[in-house]
Amino acid sequence: MATGSNIRTYFEGQWHVGDAPVMRAADHGIWLGSAVFDGARFVNGLAPDLDLHCARVNQSATALMLRPTVDAQTMVQIVREGLSAYPVGAAVYIRPMYWGVDTGYMALVPDENSTAFAICLEEIPMPAPEASTRLTRTRFCRPVMESSVVNAKAACLYPNNARMLVEARSKGFDNALVADALGNVAESATANVFMVKDGEVFTPIANGTFLSGITRARHISNLRREGMAVHETVLTFEDFKGADEVFLSGNMSKVTPVTGFDEREYEVGPITRAVRDMYWDWAASQSA
């Protein structure tokens, strides 16, 4: 079942209208997990950091021992061709994907020379400006490089995230604040996380247990350009309980204010609002 509507699919060199079937029953990606993807956004005619998202899906493919078949520049051109079918005001989720088709050694290793590629475009509205989320803790944690492909945006990582979300929702919350293997805060189940304390911004340091997002990096750059202090550091759950503001950072929503963490409640504060404004101001400046 698709998440959005008005779907267009690029597969085998051409655009198709609708949610086109792209995977076969014996493809490596469907039964042995060699599928990677990335996500970008098209909003009000803007596609911020599209080139970086296209480059990252190629990096993710390489991490899963797949050979990327479309360079990032060409991928950007294909995406823009597909986006031309949407009205300028549409909010579109852009998802380039690779997966293994044939199997390699003992079937477990994908054949690096047999890689499938597709792009899916879906209209998915941006959340309302007043939308927020509430977090809780989860017994599940982020994996480490020695046990999983945490250096890729890989489909096989997401069942663990799903367990986190189901647990959080069973407790009456929307999302989970998740620990790394050492018990420090890594991110949420769906996005990177920031906190604000005494007018300064903090975010968990990228330690190889979570994907340090493109949108995360953009927020850090925007904040520092405006002269604000941003600390990438080790953070505990107690640090978050003592925070003045908390917000999530991800491509789907860009900025999501957090209004609660377990029994702790937060206001949607001025820095959270400023981060959102900075992001879209920066995005608009790139179209000039």
Distance CA 67, CA 112 (A): 5
Paired residues of 91 in beta bridges: 43
- Tell me how far CA of residue 66 lies from CA of 23, 54, 105, 155, 191, in angstroms: 16, 15, 13, 14, 25
Around 6, how many Cα atoms within 13 Å sit in the side-chain half-sphere? 13
pLDDT digits (tens, 9 = 90+) for 247-273: 999 999 999 999 999 999 999 999 999
Buried b (16+ CB within 10 A) or exposed e, 65-78: ebebebebeebbeb
Residue range 202-244, pLDDT digits in tens: 999 999 999 999 999 999 999 999 999 999 999 999 999 999 9
Q: What is the pLDDT of residue 106?
A: 78
| pLDDT for residue 287 is more than 80 | no
CA atoms of 38 and 125, how far apart (whole Å): 18
CATH numbers and ranges of domains, the chain: 5-123 (3.30.470.10), 133-286 (3.20.10.10)
Task: Express each pLDDT in 14-46 by its tens digit.
Answer: 999 999 999 999 999 999 999 999 999 999 999
Distance CA 167, CA 252 (A): 22
Helix ranges (H only) for the chain are: 28-32, 50-63, 72-83, 158-170, 214-225, 237-241, 270-286
Give the per-residue pLDDT at 3. 80
